Structure 1
Amino acid sequence: MGTDDDARPLAEGLEGPLRDFIRHIGLGRGRSEHTLRAYESDLRSLLATAAADGASTLTEIDLATLRRWLGRQSEAGLARSTVARRAASVRSFTAWARREGLLEVDPALRLLAPKRERHLPEVLHRGQVERLVDSLQAEATGASGEDAIPARDLAVIELLYASGTRVGELVGLDVDDVDFDRRMLRVLGKGSKERAVPFGVPAEKALRRWLAVRGRLATPGSGPALFLGRRGGRLGQRQAREIVDRALRGLGDTSASGPHALRHTAATHLLDGGADLRSVQEILGHASLATTQLYTHVSVERLRSSYQASHPRA
């Protein structure tokens, strides 16, 4: 949530360090464009607040400035998770500035921010997944000979659920990233880290079905993209979300939405089925095991719900 102050030009003593920091995390850490935009938005908000208070260099930003800025974020009605993320952006920035000698003391060391709210993700039950896929298979089977879209949508859903990949990873796949012999994907994840992710027989069948008709959407400019949009370009994240949202709405008995719901579902079902936490971490591409551990709580909640619904003395 921006303010009029956020749009004002910054003095070079503030703009320069911001520009250098964004370049640092973009080149040195391989962050995505989406992440870079989020960092820049967060930090520009802080620096605009500092500039409005009269600061023209980083050395004029102290703990009181940070606290005033953080207070304004909370007063603006932002979610605790958003405020916590913005505070984390500021900590990264001031720590970098301290290492670069732009600050003698890091003012964010004593900055307290609200803890992120940890919500259990919405997941589908196995029966819902089966109905979801059955519906898409029926659409693909009943499609006219020239319509490749239903086959594509089925493959998108099957692969998201089978592999637990992020939507950005899915749309970034090329045709040769699919190894049918081993049923593995070569996925480029966060931080440009590559990993191998398995997929199952149903996803293989859906992918082969899609690739058999991919040429109906392909154009000379399609390149190697695995999934294509209606005009032949690489399928975008927004289009992929629309595919998933439409399919999930069709179930009529879930509030789950978006591709991440299928990622949550895949992780939970893997753990329900006995997969070890480290393997699930590797499949999902989580840098920290603590992130993967969230799904163990989901599984426990599902187990408790099943027990309470089924046991006569629950």
Structure 2
Amino acid sequence: MTNYNNSSNPEFLNNYLVHVKIVKLLAERTIEEYYTDIRLFLRFVYENNHNTGKPLEEIDIREMSVAELRKISISDIYNFIFYTSDERRNKDRARYRKISSLRSFFKYLEKVAHLIDENPTKDLDVPVPKASLPKFLSLNESLRLLETADSADSKRDYCIITLFLNCGMRLSELVGININDIDFYENRLKVLGKRSKERMVYLNSACVDALNKYLDIRRNNPKAADEPALFISNQNHRISKRRVQQIVEDTLTKAGLDGKGITTHKLRHTAATLMYQYGDADVLTLKELLGHASISTTEIYTHLNDENVRNAIESNPLSNIKSDKPGAKK
């Protein structure tokens, strides 16, 4: 967890961390990534200014002044990006994340904290890395995963897999579900998404059945009577994210689906892909269902469909039949 009052940071960095946590409501993981990127950049700048000769990880930036911030130029940022590429061997996506972190930081310094007059990232021109298609399970693989979870005789674990594959929810959303978030009259449940945004997830018959069978066991556990969480651990407390990840990993392994790079988040991709390919869900519907802030995030699933069309063409049994005759004259 990020330390928002870290004595090894200059005050302006700690204040930024509080801002993105309290005002911007960024996820803890995102804040941690931003913090790592910005701290590395400040150490890079400090070393260039003071020539300490130390590795960047050992440089103390506590005494870095606002005056030094004001001297940072776009050239410093380009030099930093070159350093991350040339010496740290960062790939495109990692470098692009660092740029996003710095843009957020300097925008705060200029517009919110008013510590600098000019934002050096304003004219930063860096190509956006090409988005890769998300990994997902096929329909048959999804069925195999469900069958494997069912054969394990754990109603909790089966219910977890069922919700992931049918609802497309995030790991944090699933772990955060409370029993009183479920509305069986309307067959829906409330989840808390990114930036603490609530949304309703509708439940199909498979989800309702899995929830009812799990809750029959859950309610007969007197030791968990006061625990509001839907999914609980063997210690009768809210299940952890890591434990859910282990359940998914173990089930994938038993189903013979390990080694494919599938995670809890890839099960979310699987749910969205199946709904787009086999259901009547259009992109706007998927956007609401998945809780995406921007439709551009959801449009990745239309590209998946394009790939399926290409694969269908390539798999045509006539695709390798070519004429043996030389080209005819016009």
TM-score (norm 2): 0.83
Q: Deviation of residue 138 (structure 1)?
A: 1.8
Question: One-letter code of the match for 2:48?
Answer: D
Question: How does 1:60-139 map onto structure 2 within 5 Å?
Answer: 60-74=71-85, 75-99=87-111, 100-139=113-152
The aligned counterpart of 2:300 is 294
Deviations 1:55-92 (A, max 9, x none): 63211322222122222222312232121111101001
Structure-1 separation of matches of 2:240 and 2:127: 34
Q: Deviation of residue 218 (structure 1)?
A: 6.9
Pair 241,117 (structure 1): closer, same or farther in 2 beyond 3 Å: farther
3-state SS of 1:195 partner: strand
Match for residue 19 of structure 2 among 21, 24, 27: 24
Q: Deviation of residue 216 (structure 1)?
A: 6.7
Deviations 1:203-251 (A, max 9, x none): 1111111112225777469621111122222111111111112222233
Structure-1 separation of matches of 2:199 and 2:246: 26
TM-score (norm 1): 0.87
Runs of 4+ displaced beyond 3 Å: 7-10, 215-222
Question: How does 1:1-314 map onto structure 2 within 5 Å?
Answer: 9-10=8-9, 15-54=10-49, 56-57=65-66, 58-74=69-85, 75-99=87-111, 100-140=113-153, 150-215=154-219, 219=223, 223-253=227-257, 255-272=260-277, 273-309=279-315, 311-314=316-319
Structure-2 separation of matches of 1:84 and 1:222: 46
3-state SS of 2:200 partner: strand
- Segments of 5+ residues of structure 1 without an aligned counterpart are 1-6, 141-149
- Segments of 5+ residues of structure 2 without an aligned counterpart are 1-5, 50-63, 320-330
Pair 222,72 (structure 1): closer, same or farther in 2 beyond 3 Å: farther
Q: Deviation of residue 165 (structure 1)?
A: 0.5
Aligned residues: 294
Identity %: 30
3-state SS of 1:136 partner: helix
Q: Is the 8 A contact 1:187 1:196 kept in 2?
A: yes
Q: Deviation of residue 8 (structure 1)?
A: 10
Structure-1 separation of matches of 2:65 and 2:137: 52
The structure with the greater share of residues assigned to helix is: 1
